[in-house]
Amino acid sequence: MQNSLAASETAQMSPLQRDSLQQQIYDRLHAGLIAGAFRPGEVISSRGLAGQLGVSAMPVREALTRLTAEGALELTPSRTLRVPVLSPDDFDEVTAIRTELEGMAASRAGGQLSDDDVARICALHGTLAQAADSGDVDRYLAANADFHSGIYAAARWPVLLGMIQRLWLIVGPSIRASLPDQGHISRSMGFHDTIRDAVVAGDAAALSAAIIADIANAAPEIRTALIAQAATPASAHPQGAAAS
């Protein structure tokens, strides 16, 4: 399988500007990993990505180096870069840490939401609901990441937000690989509605509890998928062109 951003996302991308090109590439790949545009085990080619983005390979390599340092990518013994494949135990660790950090961020955000914060988060919820109704999993997962990030940003603790985003970088591909169906999305939207209601009410405790419940709701299905993937021969994992 050729590694790539989702075709629909690629088609909608605005042209990259030459200012801070490496940062723009990093931001785009960062968002793609969180939303599951790349799959566990997928090999990442700097030349292939450069061709897709219409840029030289150098800023792409620089962005990939940053993502590797953050644990979003790994260097294989054959010197290629790939998206890590989480074991069930790895996923359990990430989930436990996410529960603590995201619950903390939600609690802090809920206690200091401005009117602008509430309006912005409600708008993100509206976009998420539209994505859920569309049945487009890629669109839904991207909107889900934006919705959660919008809440955690309202905590106004950038170090905490960075830690949470790093965990999402690690787990995002596995969430997409679990192939959430419409039933899962519908159940998840019930939790997201509760989160939105807590935001509107400015109830920090309820917001934290709803975020934690949302994570707990999704975790068993993702873990089950990871167990199934672990039993799949390595040759069945997606592969792309070698990185360079």
The string of pLDDT tens digits covering residues 153-184 is: 999 999 999 999 999 999 999 998 886 788 88
- 85 Cβ contact partners less than 8 Å away, ≥ 6 residues apart: 40, 41, 229, 237
Question: Tens digit of pLDDT for each residue in 3-45?
Answer: 555 444 544 556 655 558 999 999 999 999 999 899 999 999 9
pLDDT at 6: 46
pLDDT at 16: 56
pLDDT at 97: 98
> Cβ atoms within 10 A of the Cβ of 12, count?
8
In one-letter notation, the amino acid at residue 239 is: Q
**Residues across the chain:** 244
pLDDT at 242: 34
Secondary structure of residue 208 in the 3-state scheme: helix
Secondary structure of residue 81 in the 3-state scheme: strand
pLDDT at 109: 98
Contact in structure between 202 and 110 (CB atoms under 8 Å): yes
pLDDT at 78: 87
pLDDT at 54: 92
**Quick check: 143 pLDDT over 70?**
yes
Residue 137 corresponds to which tokens in the numbers above?
């999993």
DSSP bridge partners of 75 = 81
In one-letter notation, the amino acid at residue 55 is: V
Average pLDDT, the chain: 88
Mean pLDDT score, 111-125: 98
